[in-house]
Chains A and B, each alone.
Chain A
Amino acid sequence: MSAAAEAAFFGAKVMIVDSDLRLGGQLIKQTHKFFGSAFERAGTRGFVISDMLLDELKGYGDRVETYTNCTALGYYKDDGVVSCMEGEENYFKVLPKKILVATGAQERLIPFPNNDLPGVYGAGAVQTLMNVYGVVPGKRILMVGAGNIGLIVSYQLLQAGVEVAAIVEAMPRIGGYWVHAAKVRRLGVPILLEHSIKEALGKDVVEGAIIQQISPGCGFIGEEIHVDCDVICMAVGLNPTCELLWQAGCEMKYIPQLCGHVAIRDRSMRTTNPNVWVAGDAAGIEEASSAMVEGRIAGLSMAHELGYVEDKEYREKSALYWERLNALRNGEASAKIREGIAQVLMESSGGMER
């Protein structure tokens, strides 16, 4: 949405294809307030940011064409055609001049016995159920993972009146922000570090779980702990969704700090396929704020490539966005992100970037 708004601002015609029923991505289910800088709307709740972007896009009228419930299925690199399917019946092809892949991420699963029982959810799915559709997933939850998603979703479950039996985290430390961890701790939820789920219990649905301490490199140790719960919520990380980038022949690299295979790109977010850009979690798992700035950078660059932006203005605005992006990645918590980005950023392929 950010890239579309940026490109449309300069006069480019944009087509947005989104597999969801409405635009907004993950923002529509984020009921918490954002951190970061005022530039990136810190203090505003996620779904409000989504509405603001939607309004911005509406301001460009016909220049922005939106297809929801529509999946970009494939990129054919011989001719640059993208195939799409709206719903389950309307299959069509598009030939865009430039493409941005902002497909986000998918939830990571971990294998354990009975992990296919109904009642084992991804944290993102739980958030969608509750915050978009107003449905609670169960009565008592075991949360697996104490990163920001695990912590925030635990808090939102508590807000919805669902009991959180415990949060288990395999690492020896809490991965998310302390402020989120403190909120759930104050409400009495135990966070068990160096613990993980060993097995889900139940015949037809989840009726409990076995958790156990783990020792780095040695697997499970100590006594098995039985947890009474009807939902097991997995918040063990995300992987970038990048099928289209692979299909487009973009050079890819596995970067553990960015949580999976990501496209090599230059400072304009352009990949090694000169017609394909990338932004957001699809370019490496990070945060919504930086995803939106990356989108602006990509949108600006695409509009520039199409001749809608003067070189001087392009350079100035691009530098400004990079300042904002660097400010977001400045903190101690972003050290991992900085390391990851350093491994995928290439020198410009000859465009106007510095």
Chain B
Amino acid sequence: MTEEEKERNVIVCRCEEITMGEIRDWIARGYDTFDELKHILRVGMGPCQGRGCREIILREIAKMKNVPITQVDPGTFRPPSKPVKLELLAKKEGGE
């Protein structure tokens, strides 16, 4: 495997098993915000909710767009910040 292939094969989002190569390809196609990548690849939608991959992806976006990381939108944060069983939520609302 070449150095480049090795680098492309690094798993960035472990929850959803998304590689650096996939992320770079989609940024090149114009999906150059965290939320767009999240919609298309599910990065940051697993159990860790982006705590492992967000920073790496934001750096990659900054690098490929040639902008400082301070200007890269980190995307939307919605509750809950860790998985909750639907059963528990349904029970609490008193319904089925």
Interface residues of A (CB under 8 A from B): 71, 73-76, 83, 85, 88-89, 91-93, 106, 108-113, 115-116, 199, 239, 241, 243-244, 246-247, 253-256, 260-261
Contact = CB atoms under 8 A, between A and B. Distances in A.
20 contacts: A83-B80, A85-B84, A91-B84, A91-B89, A108-B55, A109-B52, A111-B10, A111-B56, A115-B10, A116-B11, A116-B14, A199-B6, A241-B51, A243-B49, A246-B76, A246-B77, A254-B70, A254-B71, A256-B69, A261-B74
Residue from A74, A111, A243, A261 with most neighbouring chain B CB atoms (10 Å): A111
B95 to A, nearest CB: 14
A99 B79 CA distance: 16
Interface residues of B, number: 30
Interface of B: 6-7, 9-12, 14, 20, 49, 51-52, 55-56, 69-72, 74, 76-82, 84-85, 88-89, 92
A93 to B, nearest CB: 8
A258 B28 CA distance: 30
Nearest to B19: A111
Nearest to B71: A254
A261 B51 CA distance: 13
Contacts of A93: 92
Contacts of B72: 254
B79 A74 contact: yes
A75 B79 CA distance: 7
A115 B77 CA distance: 26
Nearest to A115: B10
Nearest to B89: A91
Nearest to A252: B74
Nearest to A246: B77
Contacts of B10: 111-113, 115
Contacts of A246: 74, 76-77
B88 A89 contact: yes
Contacts of B20: 111
